[in-house]
Amino acid sequence: MAGHSKWKQIKRKKAVTDQKRASQWTKIIREITVAAKLGGGDPDGNPRLRLAIENARSANMPNDNIDRAIKKGTGELEGVEYQEVSYEAYGPGGIAIYIEALTDNLNRTVADIRHVLSKNGGNLGQSGSVAWMFDLKGQIEIGSRYDEAQLLEAALEAGAEDMETAEDGYTVYTDPSHFNAVQEGLRAAGIEWESAELAMVPKTLVAVEGDEASKLLRLLEALEDLDDVQKVWTNADIDESLVEA
């Protein structure tokens, strides 16, 4: 495994403001609604919905919010029709960026993304221009309190492909088709995780430093601040010294 983008690690270090938390809840609610619409409102039979609910609870979202989002997805409550869409782009230094969105207005979304890119030294690419630089993987982030050897053994027994170790914990990678089985295997082994998602993992990382790294961080944050944008992936190996602890 080439290694996942440090963008996720950097986001962890940044303070979570009330505004950021509200934006996070908005994105999770959209995901719950779409997951319920596509796979039904029972999380036991809908792995995508189950994962979205777990992420909602990790974000301290009240159960009432979760229930309303599910009912909007199943049609029990009136709700907005969201469409899944992805965009491919380049950032400062030619860094690859893959953007996932849920939107009720495609024209608004692409205009907002194009504006943020142009304002921050990036540009929108054609379909397929950067997607080939990433692999779709299950990605499970686990804290550092576990023994590395024992965690690796449990992950591999559950069907994981690989595991990376960092100062603040571990990242377990899975084939998308084994993602839920690996989660269940880790849970059965008594292992809790901080986050789990299907991720666009870069095949190789590209180092970016200094002024270009600062510009790229501003661009990534501005993209994630857009309500329609769910996730932003990049192949950048960003200089973490630029981020205040």
* pLDDT tens for each residue of 125-179: 999 999 999 999 999 999 999 999 999 999 999 999 999 988 888 999 999 999 9
Percent over 90 (pLDDT), the chain? 75
Q: Which residue has the tokens 């009330």?
A: 18
Query: What mean pLDDT, rounded, does the chain reach?
Result: 89
Q: How confident is the model at residue 227 (pLDDT cuts 50, 70, 90)?
A: very high
Question: What does DSSP assign to residue 166?
Answer: E
Q: Is the pLDDT of residue 5 over 60?
A: no
pLDDT of residue 239: 64
Tokens of 1: 């495994």
Q: Does position 67 have pLDDT exceeding 90, yes or no?
A: yes
Instruction: State the pTM of this model.
Output: 0.87
pLDDT in the model for residue 14: 56
Residue 206: its pLDDT value, please? 92
The stretch 14-21 carries a mean pLDDT of 60
Output the pLDDT for position 241.
Answer: 63
d(CA 165, CA 105): 40
User: What is the tens place of the pLDDT at every residue in 175-216?
Assistant: 999 999 999 999 999 999 888 999 999 999 998 888 888 899
Sorting pLDDT into bands at 50, 70 and 90, what band is 244? Answer: very low
> 54: Cβ–Cβ under 8 A, 6 or more apart, which residues?
196
| Whole-number pLDDT of residue 8 | 61
Residue 2 pLDDT > 50:
no
pLDDT over 90 (residue 28): yes
Give all domains of the chain, ordered by start, each with its CATH number. 7-74 (1.10.10.200)
And the tokens for 114?
Answer: 């194009």
As a whole number, mean pLDDT of residues 94-119 equals 96
The more confident residue out of 209 and 30 is 30
| Site of tokens 């990036």 | 122
